[in-house]
Each structure stands twice: as structure tokens, then as C-alpha cells.
Structure 1
Amino acid sequence: MHTAETNMQFAICIEGEENGDLEVWKVYRVLPDSKAEKLGCLRVIDESGKDYLYPQSRFAFLELPEAARKSLLAAVEG
């Protein structure tokens, strides 16, 4: 597994935004971004297919078994 894949995290949206690019209860890929974390944000690939900063409070991180992580990574990369 590549280093980027081992650092890849997934989070579920627990608070959407009206007319926004997030869907409540959808799983999103979170990109590593230490500057965003210092601001209380996450860099998330949203419905537009691009990565943006969102408040961390809108998400809950998922702890997934390795097989589930691989399946999610294959789905988002495919």
C-alpha cells in the first residue's frame, strides 16, 4: 500500500449545509492537511469532486477495517 493510501482517512458528514456540496450521512475522503487542522477544518473532497476546507465539527472520522478501507479507496479512485 502506498504511503498516501495509509494516510488516507474517511469521515462521515453529520451536519450538511443548505444548498451546499455536502450530503448528510455520506462518507467523504479526507486529505491530510496540517494547516487546515490547526484552523479546526478538514480538507474534504466534496460532491463537486474538488477538495475544500470544511469545519471539522461537521464530520465524524471512521475507523475502518483494512478490507473496507481498500474497498473505499478503490471506489473513489475508480
Structure 2
Amino acid sequence: MTKSRSKQLVICVDNEGYAASLEKRKIYVALRDPVAEKLDMLRIVDESGEDYLYPKTFFREIALPLAVKRAVLAA
């Protein structure tokens, strides 16, 4: 349960300068990173399958029903 709490689903609303790594309107997994949060960044698992820091303003949190969130995280 703590594993899913440390992951958040966000949607990309901007990818300026990162078009090869991020797709607009796509759902991404954001990993909890207190240091990144202090810098107004999010740690995102991007198109490469690796996690990198991106500006927080590029994303918006999305709320999904728990069953849907679990399915998305499991995919």
C-alpha cells in the first residue's frame, strides 16, 4: 500500500524543450521525491522508462477511482 502512495498519477500539459521525453495529454507516474519538490520539480517516469526531474508546471495531478489507479500503475 505504501508503494502506491509513493506514486502519483499526473497528466502532461506542457513539454517545451522535452518533446522527445514527454507527450502532452499523456498520463505519467510521478515518484515521491522531497528534494525535487523543494525545487518545484517532479520525478517522472518518462518515455525512456527511466525517472528524471521535470518542471512541476508541466503536469497536473489527476484523481482516478482506486481500481483505475491500480490498473494504470500495474500496466
What TM-score, normalized to structure 2?
A: 0.91
1:1-78 to 2 correspondence within 5 Å?
A: 2-18=1-17, 19-75=19-75
Aligned pairs, number: 74
Q: Which has the higher contact order (CA 8 A, sep 6+)?
A: 2
Please state how far the C-alpha of 1:10 moved relative to its aligned partner: 0.6
Structure 1 Cα separation of the partners of residues 64 and 6 of structure 2: 13
Give ranges in structure 2 of 5+ residues lacking alignment. none
Q: Percent identity?
A: 45
- RMSD across aligned positions (CA): 1.1
SS across alignment from 1:57? helix
What TM-score, normalized to structure 1?
A: 0.88
Give ranges in structure 1 of 5+ residues lacking alignment. none
Dislocated runs of 4+, deviation >2 Å: 17-20
